[in-house]
Amino acid sequence: MIAATSVASAAPTAERCQQGLDHAAKNDLPRAALYLEGCETLDLEPTLASQIAKTRASVAHKLDASKLSAMTVVTTPEGMLAETDAMPGERFTTPATIWTKAGDYKINIAPDAATLDASQGLTTTASIDPFSRRTVIINVPKKQAAPKDGKVDFRDEVDEQATHKGPPPKQKFGSILPKKYRKPGADGTGGPQLDDPLALRESTVAWRLGARFGGGLVMQDSSTAASFSIAALAARELAGPVSLATRLGWSHRRVDAVALEVGVGVQLASTPSLTLSAGAGVRGEVRVQDTYAMQEVARVGIGGAVGLDLSLLQVPVTIGLRFEPGFTELMPGVRAHGFMLEVGYDWR
């Protein structure tokens, strides 16, 4: 049996290529494909090389049109000797492609012929479907060297004069904290004192300016009318989320007025893109007209203001709602209250 077995090496040779031509002439297509694999890399006589190229193309075309399936055997590492009952009587060096019928096959892998003859290699099985191609990957473990007996001698020469008697001396260990984070000391270690980012300190934030344009309704004496306004704002942080807010504006109503407002604002919520804040203040008005509808108008008035502002942080735009109640009379027995929707621009 061993004598009848041939080896198809993955490394092509002229002799192996000639055997491939012989198998092709006998119409043994699977063996012809196995033996002709890699022949195109050899430096052969031109006529023989041309014949091999044409035969390889013809064999490949016939195998593709046949009912056979292709099984490629790959091992890690490469260059292992293998045999399979998919092609009895042949041994080959991996990687190699075997053309065979559909079915279940055994594949035996060994590093050399002696190990393969002694059935001491690796054996695996592979199932091949009809008209299919499959790659079988086999990982071959490396041989581990046998453990050796060793000897360790713990007997060392002892220097009596270097031997320490009594308790062990105290050890001094330095700080694992980098020097730049230590407090400055007399020995010059440590870096500059760092400021606490959470400590409260006097605000150095400049005044922030803005402009508002609004429109809405004014309610007075059980009637309503349209109005619009324009105002300039200035704000400065006081402590935490609280800020001082001032406003100077002009409103066009049935009775036009110039108003000065002082109040506070509180930041209610904040995200990377939006900020919601609320404000309240006291407003003083100076009316432009002396009379309205044959009635005398109070030239000076006092009122309040409450509102919500939604600031878009990606662009310097703010949208707000305001309610402006009047505390003093506009005309005898009449007070004016305004409700406004505003759009503003902030210089941040």
Q: Which two tokens stand for residue 194?
A: 């760092």
In 3D space, the residue among 45, 42, 48 whose CA is nearest the CA of residue 21 turns out to be 48
Find the helix or strand (DSSP H, E) in which 209 lies.
Answer: strand 208-220
Query: Bridge partners of 134?
Result: 71
- The number of residues in the chain equals 348
Do residues 38 and 10 touch, judged by C-beta distance below 8 A? yes
For residue range 281-330, list pLDDT tens digits in order: 999 999 988 888 788 888 899 999 999 999 888 888 999 999 999 899 88
Q: Which two tokens stand for residue 298?
A: 């109070």
Q: Which two tokens stand for residue 124?
A: 């695996």
Gap between the Cα atoms of 180 and 217, Å rounded = 62
177 burial (CB, 10 Å; 0-12 / 13-18 / 19+) is exposed
For residue range 126-139, list pLDDT tens digits in order: 998 988 889 999 88
DSSP 225-264: EEEEEEEEEEEEEEETTEEEEEEEEEEESSS-EEEEEEEE
pTM: 0.41
Q: Find the angle CA(156)-CA(162)-CA(164) to the nearest 5 degrees.
A: 105
φ, ψ for residue 320 (rounded to 5)?
Answer: -140, 160
Comparing 21-25, 137-141, 172-176, the range with the smallest average pLDDT is 172-176
Per-residue pLDDT at 115 exceeds 80: yes
Average pLDDT over residues 141-170: 68
Q: Which two tokens stand for residue 184?
A: 């400055």
Would you state the pLDDT for residue 168? 78
Would you state the pLDDT for residue 196? 62
Gap between the Cα atoms of 278 and 313, Å rounded = 16
Per-residue pLDDT at 57 exceeds 80: yes
Would you state the pLDDT for residue 204? 47
Mean residue pLDDT across the chain: 83
Would you state the pLDDT for residue 170? 78
Band of the pLDDT at 203, cuts 50, 70, 90? very low
